[in-house]
Each structure stands twice: as C-alpha cells, then as structure tokens.
A and B are shown apart, each in its own frame.
Chain A
Amino acid sequence: MQTDTQIFRRARGPKSPRGTEESPFVKWILISVALAFVVLFLLLPLINVFWQAFDRGLKVYYESLADPDTLSAIKLTLLIAGITVPLNLVFGLAAAWAIAKFNFKGKPVLITLIDLPFAISPVVAGLMFVVLFGRQGFFGEWLDAREIRIIFAVPGMVLATVFITFPFVARELIPVMQATGTEQEQAALTLGAGGWQTFWYVTLPSVRWGLLYGVILCNARAMGEFGAVSVVSGHITGQTDTMPLRVEKLYQSASAASMTAAFSVASLLAFLALLTLIIKTFLEWRTQREYEAAQRAQPEPTLIAPSLQPTSHR
C-alpha cells in the first residue's frame, strides 16, 4: 500500500526543474570528466609542444630553425604543398561542377571513389607509388633507362601527398554547389554570359567560403602528411626531408639538443594547425551568420550547404 505522501511525490514528477535536465551534481560530474579528458589528451599535448620548443630560450629556438637541413625541409614542405593544393583545388572545382550541377548514373559510386583515399592507410598509399614507379615497379625499368627519378625524390612525394589530400576540396565543394542550385547560372547564361564568365562571376563567388574551407584543410594535411611521404621519400637529409620527416630524424638522434630542435620544427607545424583551426572556426561562424540572416530573410532552409550548417560538425 502506498501512503499519501508517496503518491504525492510521484505525482510531482522528477526532481529536475523541467524534467529534461540532469541534477546539477550529475551535470558537474559529466562536465569535469569531459574536460579532464580533453585537457589530458588534447590541451596538454598542444601546450607541451610550445613549452618544449621554447624551454631553452628564444636563441636556441631560432638557431635550431636556422639549421640548413631544417631550412631545406621547410622549403620542401612549402614546395610540395604549393604544388598539391592547386592541383586538388582544380580537381575539386571540376568534380563539384560535374557532380553538383548535373544528373548522371553512378553519381554515388563516383562520390565514394573520390572519398577512397581517406579510407586507405597512408603507408599503403605510399607503397602503391613504389609499386608503380619503384625499381621493381611497373614503370621502373622505363624510368630507369631515362634516368627519371620519382621514388625517393620530390615527384614521388608530391604524388603521395596529392593522393592523401585528394578528397578535401571536392567533398567540401560538392554540398555547397548542390545547395546553391543552378538557377543563378541559368539566368546568367540566358542573359548572354559565356560558360567561363558564368563560372567566374556567378559560381565561384557563391562558393568562395566553402572553397577556402576545403583549401585550408587540404593545405594543413599536405604540410603535415607523414606516413605516405615517409615511404617514398628515401630520407635524404637536406634533399627529401619534409618538416614532419625532419621532426622524426631529430627525434631519433636522441640527444637533448636535437630533441629541442625536433620540438622547434614541430612548433611551426603546431602553429600552422592552430592557424588552420582559427580560420576554420571563423569560416563556420561566418557561415552560421549568413545562414541565420538567410533564414530571417526567407524561410527556405536549404540556402547554405548542409556540410556548413551550424549544427553540422566534422
């Protein structure tokens, strides 16, 4: 038998104010656990990079970066990113135009194929290029006879990086172009604009933020890629070392000075990562504002691409 007070208590329902919130105690525990996890696995490692790099002072930091082998690694990284990003940018634009503006059979298959490099281990990706262009590879003899070096040289490293960063621009642009539709382009063409003109003055401006988003992600990955580049590099100091490979080499020589140098090079890459995140956060904030403004203007929900909508994270 239930007493009156028990019945009264049940009728009053759960203790939390709206019944859809946890008690402050549970809430506090969950926040603590989540933040402790982030601090341990994300924040401390990040701070540690800069701490270790500057631990012996600015002079040592500067000197370890001014090392000629390190400088050549920085140059090579910039070179590889400078070739890779424009290539994948052109591809991203072409692929997004074909996929977003036209209907054809096999579209889902094509999109899956474009995403394929994300699924493959970087080491396996690097190995593929060794199989194609290495001494024992398909084109090995042919290349050898003409003294063209691809593996253990810069062309192979560029190819490996292009492979790894292949989907970035395309997969950002496809949803953005799909969302903007084709009406504006149709209107431009009707009014007498040429194909290129339409692309340049109508399409490109409407996707510029999504494009920039894809480009900075592609660039960050191109500069930071390690596994695939490691396989095809040959690790020739001063010639085929990128910044991440230079970090590894300095780390492996295991003296205290080279450890600081490793962290110095790493700090440049970490700085790049932070910059990337700041631009990314800014772009997301911007897109969110544009999205909200668009929703206020007209209640049509699909003006901005799903991938850039404020609720969607990646």
Chain B
Amino acid sequence: MASRKFNTLPGFGLTMGFTLFYLSAIVLIPIGGLIVKVLGMSWSELWRLATTERAIAAYKLTFGASFLAALTNAVFGTILAWVLARYQFPGRRFFDALVDIPFALPTAVAGLTLANLFSQSGWVGQFLVPVGIKGAYSQLGVVIALIFVGLPFVVRTLQPVLESMEREVEEVAATLGAGRFRTFFTIIAPTLLPTIITGFALAFARAVGEYGSVIFISSNIPRQTEIAPLVIITLLEQYEYSAAMALALVLLVISFALLITINLLERWASRYQH
C-alpha cells in the first residue's frame, strides 16, 4: 500500500494499523451500525417515520432557522472580517480573539446566557420585549443561538483570504479611475464571493446539527419551537427507537451532503486565490 521508495522511516505499519483500528472502532462502526439498523426497516416504514407532521415541522424550523442564522452571519461576519483584516482601531486584537468564543464556550453555557440575556428581565430583552421582539423562548431565539454558534466559521474562513488579497489590483482599479464602490463591487466582491459562500455553508452545517444552545433558549414546544435533534432525543426517551433512527438518518444524509458541498466549495474558492 505504501510507496516507500525514498523513505526509510519506521513505524508505518504500526501507526497506520492503529489509526485504522481506532478510526473503525470509534467512528466507522458506530456510523455503520446506525445505517445497517435503519436499512433493516422497510422503505415505506422509514418514510412514514421520517415524515410525521411533528418531524416535518421540526425540519422546517431547523433548516429555516439555520438558513437565517447563516445568512445573518454571512453579512455581519463579512463586515467583521473586513474590519479586522483591514482597519486599525483600539481593541482590534481583543475583538479578534473574541471571535473564537463560540468555539471555546460550551454550547450549554451559550444557551443559558443567551436565554437570560434576551428574556424579559435580561440586559437586552428588557428593551426588546416591550417593543414586541421576543428573543427568548421563541423561534427567533433559535435563530439567535444559531447565529452565536456559526459566527466564527464565516469570519475565520474570510480573514486569511482578505489578508492575502493583493492590494495592487485595487490600486490599479483606482488609478484607472474607478471609485471605491465600483472597485468593491467589480474587483473585491467577486473575489470574496466563493469564500463567503463557503463560510455560509460551514455556519449552516454547524447550525443544522446544533442542540445544546438551542434547547436552552427555545421553549421547545412540538410543532412550534422544537428542532429536529430534540425530536430525536424525545423519541428516544419514549423508547421510539425506529422513529428516532429514521430522523437521525435524515440528518446524517444531509450532513454528508453538506460535507461534500463544502469540499467542492473550498476547491472553487481556492481557485480564486492565486
């Protein structure tokens, strides 16, 4: 298997063997187990369980809220990445480090504090709730939690691209008489677009699977504010294993589809970086 013509390092067999064993034991066998178990069901049964009224409502909320959150992040995350990469202002390094908070802060903590912040007595909610914006225990709350978890994906995808972008091209555009707006929309935006879409897709993929932060800030009412992963957990607690697995398969298939899409997007985006 290994072409080791120019390589005399030892340990390929040992490390490769262990890698494959550990990968199989921890990742491949569990995924395979779920798929085998689900395929044991008949297609009609699987379809019936995966498309109950409650499940459909949960998919709509999960994908709708994930889409809105990823879109919000694509807009504000792009502005944030731009500001961090191009401008000097006091506290820039501090704000740059803050962007990683959603990667480091456990999702349960994020959900807890966001729910408190946007509830009627919270720092933000006390201003928003009187004017009719219910940020906690609502569908909007789901979007807020998903904005939190997805933000760094857009910013951290864009930042290196912005930093390595050649300013000469912009200078040429300016020398030729293009205004800043024209330069932005004809030179900068087309270069950045594939990367922004990649960041959007990463944030979306992360949001679709998110559970911890959402269940704190949502009221978790079936058919209204219940996300798909929560339906799976509820079904499990009621010993409805087949139904839980049917929904899990739907999420799994979508995760894999998103993974492939993101790989293709990254390839597309990297074409524009030379």
Which A residues lie at the B interface, using CB under 8 A? 10, 13-14, 16, 18-23, 26-27, 30-31, 33-35, 37-38, 40-46, 48-49, 52, 90-91, 93-95, 97-99, 101-105, 110, 112-114, 116-117, 119-125, 127-132, 134, 136-138, 159, 162-163, 166, 182, 185-186, 189, 195, 198-199, 217, 220, 223-227, 230-231, 243-245, 247-248, 251, 262-263, 266, 269-270, 273-274, 276-277, 280-281, 311-314
Chain B residues closer than 8 Å to A136, beta-carbon distance? 241
CA distance A164 to B245 in the complex (A): 19
- Contacts A13-B175, A127-B232, A182-B9 known; A52 to B104 CB distance under 8 Å? no
Contact at B233–A52, with CB atoms within 8 Å? no
A159 touches B26 (CB 8 A): yes
| Stretch with Cβ within 8 A of A (4 or more), from B47-55, B189-197, B255-263 | B255-263
Contact check: which of A102, A123, A163 meets B229 at CB < 8 Å?
Answer: A123
Interface readout for B1-22 with A: 1 if CB under 8 Å, 0 if not? Answer: 1111001111110111011001
Given A104-B3, A127-B245, A195-B10, verify A120-B106 contact (CB < 8 Å): no
* Complex-state Cα separation, A111 to B267, whole angstroms: 16
Q: Which residues of B contact A280 (CB under 8 A)?
A: 100, 104
Q: Across the two chains, which residue of chain A brings its CB closest to B84?
A: A34
Give the residue of B95, B109, B123, B160 whose beta carbon is less than 8 angstroms from that of A44. Answer: B123
State whether A102 touches B205 (Cβ < 8 A).
Answer: no
Number of A-B contacts (CB under 8 A): 301
Which listed residue (B108, B112, B155, B244) contacts A224, Cβ 8 A?
A: B108
Cβ of A103 and Cβ of B11 under 8 Å apart?
no
Is the Cβ of B112 less than 8 Å from the Cβ of A277? no
User: Could you show 10 A-B contacts with beta carbons less than 8 Å apart?
Assistant: A31-B87, A35-B95, A46-B98, A102-B12, A112-B263, A119-B255, A132-B30, A163-B26, A220-B104, A313-B159
A14 to chain B minimum Cβ distance, whole angstroms, is 5
Instruction: State in angstroms the CA–CA spacing of A270 and B107 once bound together.
Output: 10
Please tell me if the beta carbons of A244 and B109 are within 8 angstroms of each other in the complex.
Answer: yes
Q: Say whether, besides A48-B123, A159-B26, A312-B160, A18 and B80 are in contact (CB < 8 Å).
A: no
Q: Known contacts being A104-B1, A121-B209, is A95 close to B15, with CB within 8 Å?
A: yes
Q: Are A13 and B12 touching (Cβ within 8 A)?
A: no
Besides the known contacts A34-B79, A112-B259, A113-B23, 17 further A-B residue pairs in the complex with CB atoms under 8 A apart = A13-B174, A14-B178, A31-B83, A45-B117, A120-B31, A120-B209, A138-B37, A182-B9, A186-B8, A189-B9, A198-B9, A224-B107, A244-B108, A247-B109, A263-B113, A313-B156, A313-B159
* Contact assessment for A42 and B175 in the assembled complex, using a CB-CB cutoff below 8 Å: no
Task: Tell whether B28 is near chain A: CB-to-CB under 8 Å.
Answer: yes
For residue B208, CB closer than 8 A to chain A, the reply is yes
Q: Contacts A13-B174, A45-B148, A251-B112 hold; do A30 and B79 have CB atoms under 8 A apart? A: yes
Asked if A105 and B105 sit within 8 Å, CB to CB, the answer is no
A121 to chain B, nearest CB (A): 3
- Complex contact A227–B229 (CB within 8 A): yes
What residues of A have a CB within 8 angstroms of the CB of B79 in the complex? 30, 33-34, 37
Task: State A245–B210 Cα separation when bound (angstroms).
Answer: 16
Nearest CB on B from A61, distance (A): 16
Q: Which residues does chain B contribute within 8 Å of A134, judged by CB atoms?
A: 241
- A273-B76 CB under 8 A given contacts A38-B99, A231-B236: no
Q: How far is the CA of A262 from the CA of B112 in the complex (A)?
A: 8
Q: Which residues of A contact B170 (CB under 8 A)?
A: 19-20
Complex contacts, B45 vs chain A, CB 8 Å: none
Across the interface, B98 reaches (CB within 8 A) one of A42, A130, A137, A185, namely A42
Chain B residue contacts of A122, Cβ below 8 A: 209, 211-212, 229
Which residue of A22, A52, A90, A95 is within 8 Å of B180 (Cβ)? A22
- Whether the pair B156, A277 counts as a contact (CB closer than 8 A) is no
CB within 8 Å of A: which residues of B? 1-4, 7-12, 14-16, 18-19, 22-23, 26-31, 33-34, 37, 76, 79-80, 82-84, 87, 89, 95, 97-110, 112-114, 116-117, 122-124, 144, 147-148, 151, 155-156, 159-160, 163-164, 167, 170-171, 173-175, 177-180, 183, 205, 208-212, 215-216, 229-230, 232-233, 236, 241, 244-245, 248, 251-252, 255-256, 258-259, 263
Known: A189-B8, A273-B105. A311 touches B160 (CB 8 A): yes
Which residues from A are CB-within-8-Å of B102? 42
Give the residues in chain B near A244, CB-CB below 8 Å.
Answer: 106-109, 212
Cβ A224 vs Cβ B15 within 8 A: no
CB distance from A110 to the nearest CB of B (A): 8
Among B171, B173, B180, the residue within 8 A (CB) of A23 is B180
* Contact assessment for B27 and A166 in the assembled complex, using a CB-CB cutoff below 8 Å: yes
Known A23-B180, A120-B255, A227-B229: A42·B209 in contact at CB below 8 Å:
no
**CB < 8 Å: which of A121, A224, A247 contacts B208?**
A121
